[in-house]
């Protein structure tokens, strides 16, 4: 029951803060920890309880969630000094909402099972809008019995919850998701620049092709933001670049050729080199603009 299940959430970034807030609004007891004070202060004011280390969180709850930037961060918070594993108890569930390497997710699951704890890798998709609205897609790897226990929490975070398979399978699904997301962002940038430089109205072009086979979430949601000059995240470019690094590393591990994803990874890394790391992933159009010598909006800053 909601009133009896105590939930810990570690990592209150752009996505994690909104996800934790929805857990709190749904009536769960929520214990939080984060390096940034602003996010902690906001949620404490709304009724959450603060803890002062990952171990402190685990000591007070039944289920521990993490939502952190990369594989080393999750491993450190879960297994390092004052980490979750120091205080987590047999019978509890560990859930990672981060996007990390599948191999790391499997390693964490192995470590937690040794202390009687079931682990789920449960990365999400849907951006900041989905996180705020509780409409995320959640891709889950790990034991079905653990998923059944935390399903009431997942239901306040997302609308599509899929048990993909055993430990690591959720991260494999997220990596696959990011291959498609990156491809769409790059393709959208290319077609808009193509339309602009060849003399057509890019907004009219997008309006025309959205009614056919090119229709997709990216053109529906991201294109209007670009046409209004909005390149704020969303989903930050440096996180997209990190996720593509996971894709490429995992593909190399298994000997899988991914030529398009490799090019997309280079373009997102170029964004970082051009100082666009904090912009939305749709702002990859900025790389095409510089290569083509045009700007989508003439009054935009370089």
- What is the mean pLDDT of each successive set of 10 residues along the chain, which is 302 residues long? 80 96 97 95 98 98 97 98 98 98 98 98 94 97 98 98 98 98 98 98 98 96 97 95 98 97 98 98 98 86 42
Q: What is the pLDDT of residue 298?
A: 78
Q: In terms of DSSP bridges, do strands 49-50 and 63-66 run parallel, antiparallel, or are they unpaired?
A: unpaired
Query: What SS3 class is residue 279?
Result: coil
Enclosing H/E stretch for 158:
strand 158-165
CA dist., res. 226 & res. 302, Å (int): 15
Class of 6-167 per CATH? alpha beta
CATH code 1.10.1040.10 region(s) in the chain: 172-292
Q: What is the pLDDT of residue 301?
A: 43
Q: How many helices (H) and strands (E) does the chain have?
A: 15, 9
* Buried-exposed string 279-292: b where 16+ CB fall within 10 A, e elsewhere: bbbbbbbbbbbeee
Catalytic center residues: 174
CA dist., res. 60 & res. 49, Å (int): 10
Q: Would you call 99 exposed, middle or buried from its count of C-beta atoms within 10 A (0-12, 13-18, 19+)? A: buried
Q: What is the pLDDT of residue 299?
A: 56
CA dist., res. 118 & res. 143, Å (int): 7
At residue 148, what are phi and psi to the nearest 5 degrees?
A: -60, -40
Cα-Cα end-to-end distance for the chain: 53
Q: What is the pLDDT of residue 4?
A: 79
* CB 96, CB 71: distance < 8 Å: no
Q: What is the pLDDT of residue 302?
A: 42
Q: What is the pLDDT of residue 1?
A: 40
According to CATH, the topology of domain 172-292 is: 1.10.1040
Model pTM score: 0.93
CATH code 3.40.50.720 region(s) in the chain: 6-167
Q: In terms of DSSP bridges, do strands 158-165 and 49-50 run parallel, antiparallel, or are they unpaired?
A: unpaired
CA dist., res. 104 & res. 71, Å (int): 7
Enclosing H/E stretch for 8:
strand 6-10
């Amino acid at each position: 029951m909601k009133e009896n299940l105590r939930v810990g959430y570690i990592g209150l970034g752009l996505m994690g803060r909104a996800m934790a807030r929805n857990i709190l609004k749904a009536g769960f007891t929520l214990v939080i920890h984060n390096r940034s004070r602003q996010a902690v202060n906001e949620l404490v004011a709304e009724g959450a309880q603060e803890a002062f280390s990952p171990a402190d969180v685990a000591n007070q709850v039944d289920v521990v969630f993490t939502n952190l930037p990369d594989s080393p961060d999750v491993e450190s918070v879960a297994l390092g000094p004052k980490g979750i594993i120091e205080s987590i108890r047999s019978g509890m569930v560990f859930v990672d909402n981060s996007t990390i390497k599948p191999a790391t997710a499997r390693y964490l699951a192995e470590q937690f099972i040794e202390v009687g704890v079931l682990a789920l890798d449960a990365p999400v998709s849907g951006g900041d809008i989905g996180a705020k609205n509780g409409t995320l897609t959640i891709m889950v790897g790990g034991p079905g019995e653990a998923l059944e226990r935390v399903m009431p929490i997942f239901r306040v975070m997302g609308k599509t919850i899929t048990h993909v398979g055993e430990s690591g399978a959720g991260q494999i699904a997220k990596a696959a998701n990011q291959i498609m997301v990156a491809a769409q962002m790059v393709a959208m940038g290319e077609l808009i620049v193509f339309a602009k430089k060849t003399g057509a109205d890019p907004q009219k072009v997008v309006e025309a092709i959205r009614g056919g086979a090119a229709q997709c979430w990216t053109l529906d949601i991201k294109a209007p933001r670009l046409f209004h000059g909005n390149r704020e995240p969303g989903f930050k470019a440096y996180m997209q670049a990190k996720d593509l690094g996971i894709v490429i590393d995992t593909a190399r591990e298994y000997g899988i050729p991914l030529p398009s994803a490799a090019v997309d990874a280079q373009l997102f890394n170029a964004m970082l080199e051009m100082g666009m790391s904090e912009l939305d992933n749709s702002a990859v159009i900025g790389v095409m603009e510089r290569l083509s010598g045009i700007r989508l909006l003439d009054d935009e800053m370089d």
